[in-house]
Structure formats: structure tokens, C-alpha cells
Amino acid sequence: MSRYRGPWFKKIRRLGALPGLTNKSSSKSSRAGSDRTGSGKKSQYCIRLEEKQKLRFHYGLTERQLLKYVRIAGKAKGPRGQVLLQLLEMRLDNILFRLGMAPTIPGARQLVNHRHILVNGRIVDIPSYRCKPRDTITAKDERKSKALIQNSLDSSPRKELPNHLTLDPVQYKGLVNQIIDSKWVGLEINELLVVEYYSRQT
């Protein structure tokens, strides 16, 4: 299944806020389907599916990619849901988004694909690159690369950085201090429901 490229607000209305997908908000206050009458209670499958979809669309993953991360998390030490979120949060495209160096995760992915980003002084053009503690992330020393990041820093609302990241906006430089703590994950999600959704496929 390919990465979703349809209307973003349609997904936001159905699933709730997806800050990684877009920094804009829908003008419609109600969630999709909330105005229907006579609709029954959601099944447990539907609830798990929505949590899985929320995770997938926020981080911009294909179904195959997300399943791969769930399987990797299942082989690691620690609670599978917590490890899954850590794996997703430590992706390079998400780190750029959380630093404010890109307005959205799709925007961050484009920066990486177009070779504007260095990790530890070397160009990395793989958005899924897994960042590690003590990694330094900088803009390539070119005017266009720095202008793209400066535009994002200027236009993004100032928000508290998670404690595993440090940003030097003057040097266009981010530092990964440690593996993210679960309380700093940038999405309201019940990761246990996602694990339960995939329980028969892992």
C-alpha cells in the first residue's frame, strides 16, 4: 500500500490532529461522521484501526513500513508499544520536524531526499535514517539549504523542544541528546491498541 496523498483535512476530521501531516487546521469543527444519526458504538477493531491509521498518517508511513517497525519493536527489549514510538520518533525526518527545521514530516522528507541535510557532517538522503544519541544534524553549507530551514524556523510557531533534542538556530544545527522519553512523543496515541491491531501479523 502506497503512502497517502489524498486530502489531508479529510483524515484530520476523522482521526483528530495530525501535526506531522500538516500544520494547518480544518475549518470544520466536527469530526467526520460525528453528525450521523443512528450510528452504533464503534467496534474494538474499528478503534484499533483508527489508532493505527493515526500513527501511520502522522509519521507518513506506508502500511508495509509500519508493519516492519512493529516487528522490529517486537524483537527489542522493553514494551513493544513504547519501543515502536521510539523507533518512529528517532527517524531523521521526524527529528527535523520536531526541531522546527521543517514545517511537517513530508516537508522534512523532501529536505532529506533533496540532500539538504547532514548527519555528523555527511549527507544523508534517507528519511527513515535512525538517529542515535550524540548525532548532530545540520543544514548543508549552501544558501538554498539554509534558506529553506530558516523559512521553516521563522514560520513555525515556537514550541517547547522535547528533552532529547537541542537546537542551535544560528548554526542551523540540531543535536540528539538521548533516546526520546515516551512522555515527549509528539502525538496523542494509544500505542497498545496499535500493537493489538497487528498482533496476528507479527
pLDDT digits 0-9 by tens, 104-158? 999 999 999 999 999 999 999 999 999 999 999 999 999 999 999 999 999 877 7
Tell me what pLDDT residue 158 has.
72
User: Residue 28 pLDDT more than 90?
Assistant: no
User: Residue 39 pLDDT more than 60?
Assistant: no
Q: What is the mean pLDDT of residues 90-115?
A: 95
> Average per-residue pLDDT in the chain?
86
User: Residue 200 pLDDT more than 70?
Assistant: yes
Give the largest Cα separation in the chain, rounded. Answer: 59
Tell me what pLDDT residue 153 has.
92
Place of cell 548525532: 135
User: Residue 36 pLDDT more than 80?
Assistant: no
pLDDT digits 0-9 by tens, 179-188? 998 888 878 8
Tell me what pLDDT residue 84 has.
96
- The domains of the chain, with CATH numbers, are 8-29+40-87+185-197 (1.10.1050.10), 91-178 (3.10.290.10)
Pairing of strands 173-176, 165-168: antiparallel
Tell me what pLDDT residue 35 has.
44
Spatial separation of the C-alpha atoms in residues 149 and 168, rounded to whole Å:
12
pLDDT > 90 fraction of the chain, expressed in percent and rounded: 68
Q: What is the mean pLDDT of residues 163-171?
A: 95
| Nearest by Cα to 136 from 150, 153, 148, 124 | 124
Residues 11-49 as b or e (16 or more Cβ within 10 Å = b): bbbebeebbbbbeeebeeeeeeeeeeeeeeeeeeeeebe
User: Residue 27 pLDDT more than 50?
Assistant: no
